[in-house]
Amino acid sequence: MFKTVVTPRFGDIDGLRHVNNTVLAIWFEEARNPVFRMFTPDLDLSYENWKLIMVRTEFDFVGEMYYGEDIEIRTFVEKVGNSSFTLGHEAWQRGKLNVRGKAVVVHFDFIEKKSMPIPESIRSQLEEHLLPHGTQSQE
Residues 6+ apart with CB under 8 A from 78: 86, 87, 88, 102, 130, 131, 132, 133
- Phi (first) and psi of residue 124, to 5 degrees: -60, -40
What are the domain boundaries of the chain?
2-127
Evaluate whether the domain defined by 2-127 bears CATH number 3.10.129.10: yes
Q: What is the pLDDT of residues 82-99, one digit of tens each?
A: 999 999 999 999 999 999
Residue 139's pLDDT is what?
52
Mean pLDDT lowest among 16-25, 40-49, 70-79, 107-116: 40-49
CA angle 116–105–72, rounded 5-degree value = 145
Q: Which of 104, 112, 107 is nearest to 48 (CA)?
A: 112
Asked whether residue 133 carries a pLDDT value surpassing 60, the answer given is no
Residue 57's pLDDT is what?
96
> Residue 105: is it exposed, middle or buried by C-beta count within 10 angstroms (0-12/13-18/19+)?
buried
Indicate the pTM of the whole model.
0.88
Q: Which of 119, 82, 94, 105 is nearest to 19 (CA)?
A: 94
Q: What's the Rg (C-alpha) of the chain? A: 16
Residue 134's pLDDT is what?
52
Q: Mean pLDDT throughout 32-55?
A: 88
